[in-house]
Amino acid sequence: MSFTRFIFSSILVCVLFSSNHQFNNPFIEVSKKANPCIVSIISEKEVVQKQFNPFFNDPFFEDFFPEFKRKGESLGSGVIIDNEGYIITNNHVIEGADKIRVILYNKNEYEASIIGVDPLSDLAIIQIEADEALSTVEMGNSDKLSVGEWVIAIGSPFGLHLNHTVTAGIVSATGRSSVMSKLTYEDFIQHDAAINPGNSGGALLNLDGELIGINTAIATDGYSRSNAGVGFAIPINQARRVVEDLLEDGTVSRGWLGVQIQNITEEISKALDLDSKKGALIVSIVPDSPAAESGLMEEDVIVKVDNKEIENDKDLIRAVSSKHPEDYTTFTVIRGDEKLRISVVLGERPDERNLASTSNTKTNTFDIIGLKVSGLNDRDGVKIISIENGSTAQQNGLRKDDVIVKIGRISITTVEQYNKIMEAKESGDVIMLKIERNGNQTIFAFSIQ
């Protein structure tokens, strides 16, 4: 090796070593800074268990093998958010617990009380009365996260013997929903830092050591409960809003608009002559709701809430639910050829409501999309009583007992009106139907074959 090459190689090794050392520093510093802010949470509850009956559960021997109670424990994680001992965690970590124990980084243990829970966001606040100074986490801004950004997870996977495990990965995606349930308010950060059972309620941090998420769930192949590189965390900006309500009132109040909405398909976009599929389509409006009183209308497409762009129905749900009742909110909507700004004073989210319908007379032949319909005794609309096999209607998801309340922008009142509109349709036309199904309304749009 020449002297020049030797010098060059030596310099390269030094540069790489220095570079690697510098790369390690943020992870080391975050671990030192954040670890004292993370706790292990043990939830204790009584579990009723039946003794094994060796006589194949013969009732005659039932009294010889009675039920008995045992103490069950589950493990999770939490994050200390202030020096009064408030700790944020997941609702499912402490749900149903008879006793909650919190173990600090220094191994000291305290019993915790529940301040408030919010099952819809899967968040909870508990509190310990510590006789020592507590380390508290620094809050970050999850709205500033970028896909590909490094993040660090800290929690207690699998057991106390692995508490304060530190793992690292990157942000894989943001705005993930329908992960745990379609009924919850989900806006998850997806990341690939290893998290496992026991990490629930633990911290997701950026490289400045700021809390940007609460680890909540993992996705697996269905056969394993362990990490597969797909983890989900509740963004701290969403959690902060819940925490404020829980600390103030012990419960969470959410804004309510009073509309049923759905995403915009390619067919609906064509039928409404829209420029894009962005936004949320209003399918129906609850009578006397904030939406009804403000002048919002069915078939309006909501594209913005205040200054937030709305990409889809989940975006709108999150935007409205993040607000409080009585909040003054501006909705930008597309109505026909117009773009309107409509101000709404939000209400408070009520319980779900159910609707029902009945039927009467029948038609004898299938129409152009493959339906037979009947009129309704006590209301407008027509009910689907039969669907032709292989028809356009069947291929596009219409079902028997669906109630058709609109075709395009025309409200349907009778079978005769329905048939007259259908008789004017031809193969290749795009048709849009508003359907009631099990108390909910949905819009279907498709080309007639």
203, with CB counted inside 10 A (0-12, 13-18, 19+), is buried
How many of the other CB atoms lie within 10 Å of CB of 235? 21
E strands present in 51-200: 67-80, 86-89, 99-103, 109-118, 123-128, 138-139, 150-155, 165-176, 188-191
Query: 122, 192, 315, 367: which one is catalytic?
Result: 122
Distance CA 9, CA 78 (A): 48
Distance of alpha carbon 128 from alpha carbon 41, whole angstroms: 11
Q: Which helix (H) or strand (E) holds 237?
A: helix 236-249
Q: Which of 74, 172, 177, 200 is catalytic?
A: 200
Q: What DSSP assignment string belongs to 277-297?
A: S-SEEEEEE-TTSHHHHHT--
Residue linked to tokens 């690292």: 168
> DSSP label at 137?
P
Q: Report the SS3 class of residue 231.
A: strand
Contact 273, 326 (CB under 8 A): no
Assigned token pair, 158: 């699998």
Report the distance separating Cα 394 and Cα 415, nearest Å. Answer: 20
CA angle 233, 264, 407 (to 5 degrees): 145
Distance (Å, whole) CA 388 – CA 341: 43
CB 400 within 8 A of CB 386: yes
**19 is annotated as an active-site residue:** no
d(Cα 160, Cα 151) in Å, to the nearest integer? 23
Q: Which of 92, 192, 289, 402 is catalytic?
A: 92
d(CA 143, CA 304): 17
Paired residues of 234 in beta bridges: 214
Nearest one of 408, 396, 398 to 385, comparing CA atoms: 398
CB 335 within 8 A of CB 298: no
Is 31 annotated in the active site? no
Catalytic: 122?
yes
Assign residue 237 a region (left: φ > 0; alpha: ψ between -120 and 50; beta: otherwise).
alpha
Residues with a catalytic annotation lie at 92, 122, 200
